[in-house]
Structure 1
Amino acid sequence: MYRISELALKVGLSRSTLLYYEKLGLISSRRQANGYRAYSEHDLQQLKLLQQLQAGGLTLKECQACLDTRIDRSLLLERLQALEQEIAEKQQSRDLLAAMLGKASMRGWHQALESQAPGAHLAWLLKQGFNEKQALRLKWLSRDMNEHDHYMADFERIFDGLDRLGPGSAEDTLEALSALPVVPQNLLDIGCGRGLSTLLLATHTQGLVTALDNDEYSLARLREAVTTNALDHCVRLLCASMTELPFERSSFDAVWAEGSAYIMGFGNALKSWRRFIKPEGFLVVSDLIWFTDQPHPEASSFWQKNYPDMTTLESRVSGINSLGYQVLHSFPLSLHAWENYLAPLREKIAELSVEGFSSKALTDIKDEIDIHDRFLDDYGYQFFILQKNSA
């Protein structure tokens, strides 16, 4: 027999809790001659069983029911499912905290936030100490911010000396330009990079082209090309953010953006840039789209991770119409444009060894090239020649 103080010590419960359990009938005492309560070994075992049931997530009332009758399997199954959900949520919280401390990858978190709240994602990255160029590249590549410095250094090393950071060709750029009803005389080239399209636009419009990018190195390369081609009088270079354009409303006859809108999010870019286009002016933009409703699962998985906003032509056109533009013309980027990008890149990476890189940049580029080589029938860039609605 155990006195209440002895029983409380053995099961790790307070005296008041034991008295409450006795009131519920879970245990029962016998009064001794001296008036003290005494509990049996049965009460001790009953309490240990009760504690095990509570450890399974059952309420006291549910524990009592299990002690009094046969186990309610449906009740236990419900508690098991709730517990598994709670564990999954706590594991997710633990993974995020570990990632933010640099103990695990944040890539999945970046991808999810970029898909759900791209504006908040950018603002948060800026608060973490990244400059605007670094933050946009983090968003663009959806990489781990804890590995960002190494990754971007390796990324720039891979593309050093190459003219293109993405697919493109003079023929496609000029086809898009010729689709405009009028030749723009004041044009903004957003995300101009190293300026291959900028030079073509300046040469064939004979107007003023403002070339904007946030990469000073790329702009320096473009500045040399502008001088070499004697185009200083018609090209203005500006290092600035595509997210906060430093211009007055209705400043340009046309805005040009080859392969850069998705850095902001395609819809966000079109909405943001619209105010800088003159009434009934033009926007020429290219974007990755699916050419099929049933892409190969491997291609679908790759782009779901790297560009979750990617959609079909029909869906993209519908979105464009809802943002205050009409589609004047649309055409897919040529395979020649892809080879202009991929052939030099293949040659460059053939000279490089994975062992010489401190990040996964080279491996990621090789994986992307492999996806392009096998599945370009399923997707590609689409040029959209748009006119701003007057309303």
Structure 2
Amino acid sequence: MEDIDLLLDLHKKADRQGPGGEAETRLAVTLSGLSDRKNLKIADIGCGTGASTITLAKSLDADVTAVDFLQDFLKELEQHAKTEGVSRQITTLEASMDALTFGPSTLDAIWSEGAIYNIGFERGIQTWRPFLKPGGILAVSELTWLSDQRPSELEDYWSREYPEVDTASAKMALLEANGYTPVGYFTLPETCWLDNYYRPMQERFAGLLEKYDGASDARALVEAEQAEISLYERFSAFVSYGYYIARKLPD
């Protein structure tokens, strides 16, 4: 079986494919300064099954393009959008986040919750910047160290899994060096990790193992996810997602 099939089976029926929360998306909207704007054009990149997409559609006068490379996730998003009554505001786009075809300076905002790591933070903010209008908003959540000092076990794990993990000050410096000015920042609380992401995932482990009759690949995936969960439970004071809101500066 392919790893992608296992990941789809584990995550496609989930509300979230990473840590986050509706209140946190709404806070980012508030910090962005977009709330009073009309007829916005927004891309939600790496949207998964659409938790943030739907919150954006409910919170803003906006047309939201929901971008993901997995059609299964987009189908789930479309169904959720119908249920929530926002399907007219949302267009889905099956595409890779590093090969987007938006026109130059056509978007009022780009959102990406827990997904920019797929191409790397610096590459993502560079690649997506041309799509933003002058003064356009970038809002992304990104794995972030909460302290200069952290346990070696935690640092070894995340430096191996995502070498670009760094402190908020380092991420802010990258934004400033790549044509943005930061306008807001906060960290996701534990509930975004445990209640909204990890606990629901753990409830799906048994079903995944049953579906694949305990196959070694399925067991390996469950064990890897559980190891990450256990690490977070022990060391949540040292790492989280930082939510970065920035404005595009003139060229």
| TM-score normalised per structure 2 | 0.92
Matched, 1:259 2:94: no
Partner Cα distance (1:352, 1:261) in 2: 27
Pair member with larger Rg: 1
Alpha-carbon distance in 1 for matches of 2:215, 2:225: 12
The correspondence for 1:369, drawn from 204, 221, 229, is 229
Q: 1:221 to 1:160 in 2, by over 3 A?
A: closer
Structure 1 segment 105-120 matched on structure 2, within 5 A: none
Secondary structure of 2:14's partner?
coil
1:9-28 alignment, distance < 5 Å: none
Q: Which moved more, 1:367-376 or 1:155-164?
A: 155-164
Q: Output the CA distance in 1 between the equivalents of 2:34 and 2:141.
A: 19
Task: Tell me the residue number matched to 2:238.
Answer: 378
Measured in 1, the distance between the counterparts of 2:235 and 2:226 equals 14
Question: Counting strand residues as a fraction of each chain, which structure ranks higher?
Answer: 2
Letter in 1 for 2:227: D
Q: SS in structure 2 opposite 1:233?
A: helix
Give 1:243 shift. 0.6
Q: How far apart are the structure 1 equivalents of 2:42 and 2:154?
A: 35
The higher-RCO structure (CA 8 Å, 6+ apart) is 2
- The 8 Å contact of residues 139 and 246 in structure 2, kept in 1 or not, is answered as yes
Kindly provide the CA deviation profile for residues 350-376 of structure 1, in whole angstroms up to 9, marking residues without a partner as x.
556597133221221111111111111
Q: 1:345 aligns with which of 201, 205, 216?
A: 201
Residue 279 to residue 160, structure 1, CA distance change in 2 (3 Å): closer
Q: Distance in 2 between matches of 1:274 and 1:160?
A: 29
For 1:157 and 1:226, locate their aligned partners in 2 and report how far apart those are by CA, in whole Å: 21
Change (3 A) 1:275 1:160: closer
Structure 2 counterpart of 1:276: 131
Q: CA separation of 1:285/1:231 partners in 2, compared to 1, >3 Å: closer, same or farther?
A: same
Residue-by-residue CA offset, 1:296-354 (whole Å, 9 max, x unaligned): 01101111110111011111111111011010010001222112101111222255659
The one-letter code of the counterpart of 1:342 is: Y
SS where residue 247 of structure 1 aligns? coil
User: Alignment length, in residue pairs?
Assistant: 243
Instruction: Structure 2: give runs of 5+ residues left out of the alignment.
Output: none
Distance change in 2, residues 1:189/1:368 (3 Å): same
Per-residue CA deviation, residues 222-261 of structure 1 (Å, 9 max, x unaligned), is 1111222222321111111111111110111111111111
Q: Secondary structure at the match of 1:158?
A: helix
Provide the rounded CA distance (Å) in 1 between the counterparts of 2:90 and 2:207. 35
- Normalised to the residue count of structure 1, the TM-score between the two structures is 0.60
State the partner residue of 1:173: 25
Alignment of 1:30-109 (within 5 A): none
Aligned to 1:164, which of 6, 12, 16?
16
Q: How many Å separate the matches in 2 of 1:275 and 1:238?
A: 19
User: Is the Cα contact below 8 Å between 2:43 and 2:109 reproduced in 1?
Assistant: yes
2:215 to 357, 361, 369: 357
**1-structure distance, mates of 2:202, 2:88:** 36
